[in-house]
Each structure stands twice: as structure tokens, then as C-alpha cells.
Chain A
């Protein structure tokens, strides 16, 4: 059972454009939603994360939009650069309670930013 569905599978954007990656989750107990960036041969690196008490979080060129009622969240990369070319994963976890904390990942989006 895939609890976090991510789309699109791949995305090609021109330099300076906006990259948008979407995720939907099923488990309403999830309360922590991070995005990870992974370059080939490297482990995932935490990019930005949001909790459901806010609808949007922005850090530099990266913004997470969160829609609790629709159980959806998305990553927007403004002014996309060739160096942003990587695989992006959304994830979700149940953070409250402090037990059995685990990340459930989407399948990933391969982003290519053309110069």
C-alpha cells in the first residue's frame, strides 16, 4: 500500500522557470511532511519541511504548500537552476507521540533543469 503518492515521475524545466512537484497522502495521522533532494550516488538531503498547522512555508527559492483537507502538499522551486537537477522525494511521518517515528517516502521525481 503506497501511502504517499508523488507526481510527476519526471519533470523538465527551463532555467529560471518554476518546478512544481505534488504529493498526496492517505494516513490522516501524518503530521510532518519533509522534502528531500537526492543527487546520484548520494543520500537524501533534507530540503524543507512543514507541519499541518501552517499552509505554506518558504525557504529561499523553495516553498511548500500544504492542503490539509485535500491531504496534499507540493514543492515549488522558483527560478530553477541547472544545479537543482536531482531527484526529489516527498515524505510523511507521524511525529507526535515520539514512538516508531519513520518516514514514508513517495517514489520520487527526477527534475532536469535545462540551461
Chain B
């Protein structure tokens, strides 16, 4: 176990709705990254937060947004859900920006 916890583990939403996913980083880690893993694919980088500031973003539209809190936990928000947003959303924490990333178990989001 990595010490990175995500909630909820599973979620079903309707197209057009909004969703918030949560991640509690491993103790001592100040960096959190979010990845989207579609079925049968490798994870794709969404964005990274370092000390509460966004520190890089992948090719995802602005309806994907995030936050990092003073305790370094993080949220991923997705607005106007589309069917293609159905995926496993992974949170990874690291001691700092350029060190090993440890993944949580993920949140399985299904958009119907």
C-alpha cells in the first residue's frame, strides 16, 4: 500500500453533471498529480499541483480543474461530464516535483 487514498472508489454520473474526486497524499509529500486511465490504455497526465499551485497541465480541456489544499490533499473537478470521461482517475503523490510518484487505487468514474 502506498499511503495515497482516493475517494470515492466508484462513481456513476449522468452526462452534463459535475463531479469532484478526492485524493489524500502520502505523508510528507507536497506534490500531487492526476491521471486519467481509459479502459485498456496507459494513464494520461491531467495536471500536477505543487504546494497548492498548478505546476503543469496535460492536453485536457478547462472543464477539468483541480485544487490542492494546505495539507497537500487534492481535488479533481470535472464539469459538463461527457461519456468519454468514463475512466479510472488516478492520483499520484510524490515527495516533491521530480521524485518517484506513488499512485492511489483510483476512482472508477462511469458517465451514462
Contacts and interface: CB of A to CB of B under 8 A. Distances in A.
B28 interface: no
B56 A43 contact: no
A89 B90 CA distance: 14
A4 B58 CA distance: 15
Interface in A40-61: 41-46, 49
Interface residues of B, number: 28
Tell me the dominant secondary structure on chain A's binding face: loop
Q: Which interface class (under 10, 10 to 19, 20 to 34, 35 or more) fits A?
A: 20 to 34
B42 A101 contact: no
A4 B103 CA distance: 20
B104 interface: yes
A103 B43 contact: yes
B2 interface: yes
A108 B97 contact: no
A53 B105 CA distance: 32
Contacts of A100: 48, 55-56
Interface of A: 4, 6, 34, 36, 41-46, 49, 89, 91, 95-108
Interface of B: 2, 4, 31, 33, 35, 40-45, 48, 55-56, 58, 90, 92, 94, 96-98, 100-106
Given A97-B98, A101-B94, A108-B42, 10 more contacts: A36-B103, A43-B106, A44-B90, A46-B101, A89-B42, A98-B97, A102-B56, A103-B45, A106-B42, A107-B41
